[in-house]
């Protein structure tokens, strides 16, 4: 059984008021003159916008995560990035501490008014995938969009975490800060990380910082993002599993199943499944095959 950590009511109340300083510094910071004056990105000609900074923090012990994003808008087509949707699972997790603002090229700050809306993305009889939506105000070419939020949950569970490191916009700087459960073994896997880059343990948490990550253009019928985008995954080790021989055991188990299915048996010659499944027969419905199976 996966481990599930239940939080006390006091901790849940605390999560409702997680400080916006969970990043270890103030939520927003002043843009540089170079960021205000930026009109394009030489390394990505034709890009409509660029993500100046993307930071994701996650603490599995206290069951919360936060995200901080700064986007530089180059043209009016990029105004769509002012419409934000923050997904969460109804009755299991919730969105807190939404803060946002728009910065004009002259440095003028237009704060977000705080109005958000909940939208149902998918729903079944016992679970609803939701999104907290809002729009940043007064977006125009040259604006910088900046927002921060916290997503808290009832428990962190014992689940793997998947971070996609490339987006449809180029990213100048991105950071992952991750504090896992301390009582279980764990490991990372990754694809597409720059040479020499990996999540490093800093005290009780891991950190990974990347720069100048190229955009990935979304295409119809493209392979899954796990094959096309740089990503990093974190897994917990289940207690009692011998991981030193795990894949050997899995391979042997699958080989035994295949050997049984392909063995020279009366069931295969007659086209009957040992499990009673309706599989295509391998021989014709002759009297000989029928007698072979004892049907006549």
pLDDT of 48 over the 70 cut:
yes
**Band (221; pLDDT cuts 50, 70, 90):** confident
Specify the pLDDT at position 55.
97
Specify the pLDDT at position 9.
45
- Sequence-ordered strand ranges (E) for the chain: 49-59, 64-73, 83-89, 93-103, 109-111, 117-123, 128-135, 144-153, 161-164, 171-179, 186-191, 200-202, 205-213, 231-236
Q: Which residues contact 260 (CB under 8 A, 6 or more apart)?
A: 274
pLDDT of 273 over the 60 cut:
no
Specify the pLDDT at position 157.
73
**Band (151; pLDDT cuts 50, 70, 90):** very high
Q: Which of 3.40.50.300, 3.40.50.150, 1.10.10.10, 2.60.40.3140 is the CATH number of 9-241?
A: 2.60.40.3140
Q: Which residues contact 21 (CB under 8 A, 6 or more apart)?
A: 27
**Band (159; pLDDT cuts 50, 70, 90):** confident
Q: Are 164 and 203 in contact (CB under 8 A)?
A: no
CA dihedral of residues 67, 71, 77, 79 (deg, nearest 10) = 60
Provide DSSP, 274-287: TT---PPPSS---H
* Mean predicted confidence (pLDDT) in 155-174: 91
**Band (245; pLDDT cuts 50, 70, 90):** confident
Specify the pLDDT at position 195.
92
pLDDT of 52 over the 70 cut:
yes
In 3-state terms, what secondary structure has residue 252? helix
For residue 179, CA distances in Å to 155, 156, 206 come to 14, 11, 6
Q: Higher pLDDT residue, 142 or 287? A: 142
The dihedrals phi and psi of 217, each to the nearest 5 degrees, come to -80, 130
CA atoms within 13 A on the CB side of 116: 20
Q: What is the pLDDT of residues 87-114, one digit of tens each?
A: 999 999 999 999 999 999 999 999 999 9
* Mean predicted confidence (pLDDT) in 277-292: 44
Q: What is the pLDDT of residues 54-70, one digit of tens each?
A: 999 999 999 999 999 99
Domain boundary assignment for the chain: 9-241, 244-292
Percent with pLDDT over 90 in the chain? 61
Specify the pLDDT at position 265.
67
Most confident range (mean pLDDT) of 143-147, 158-162, 272-276 is 143-147
CA distance 254 to 243: 17
Q: What is the pLDDT of residues 2-37, one digit of tens each?
A: 343 444 444 444 444 444 445 545 789 999 999 999
Specify the pLDDT at position 288.
42
């Amino acid at each position: 059984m996966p481990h599930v950590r239940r939080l006390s009511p006091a901790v849940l109340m605390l999560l409702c008021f997680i400080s916006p300083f969970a990043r270890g510094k103030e939520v927003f910071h002043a843009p540089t003159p170079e960021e205000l004056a930026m009109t394009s990105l030489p390394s990505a000609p034709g890009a409509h916008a660029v993500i100046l900074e993307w930071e994701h923090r996650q603490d599995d012990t206290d069951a919360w995560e936060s995200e901080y994003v700064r986007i530089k808008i180059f043209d009016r087509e990029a105004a769509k990035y002012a419409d934000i949707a923050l997904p969460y699972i109804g009755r299991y997790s919730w969105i807190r501490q939404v803060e946002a603002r728009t910065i004009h090229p002259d440095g003028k700050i237009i704060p977000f008014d705080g109005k958000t809306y909940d939208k149902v993305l998918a729903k079944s009889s016992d679970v609803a995938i939701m999104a907290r939506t809002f729009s940043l105000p007064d977006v125009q070419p040259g604006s910088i969009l900046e927002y921060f939020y916290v997503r808290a949950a009832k428990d962190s569970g014992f689940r793997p975490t998947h971070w996609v490191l490339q987006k449809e916009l180029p990213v100048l700087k991105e950071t992952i800060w991750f504090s896992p459960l301390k009582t279980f073994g764990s490991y990372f896997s990754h694809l597409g990380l720059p040479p020499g880059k990996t999540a490093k343990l800093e005290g009780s948490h891991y950190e990974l910082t990347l720069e100048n990550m190229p955009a990935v253009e979304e295409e119809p019928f493209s392979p899954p993002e796990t094959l096309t985008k740089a990503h990093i995954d974190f897994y917990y080790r289940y207690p009692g599993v011998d991981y030193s021989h795990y894949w050997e055991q899995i391979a042997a188990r699958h080989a035994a199943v295949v050997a049984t299915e392909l063995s020279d048996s009366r069931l295969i010659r007659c086209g009957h499944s040992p499990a009673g499944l309706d599989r295509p027969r391998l021989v014709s419905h002759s009297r000989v095959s029928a007698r072979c199976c004892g049907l006549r």
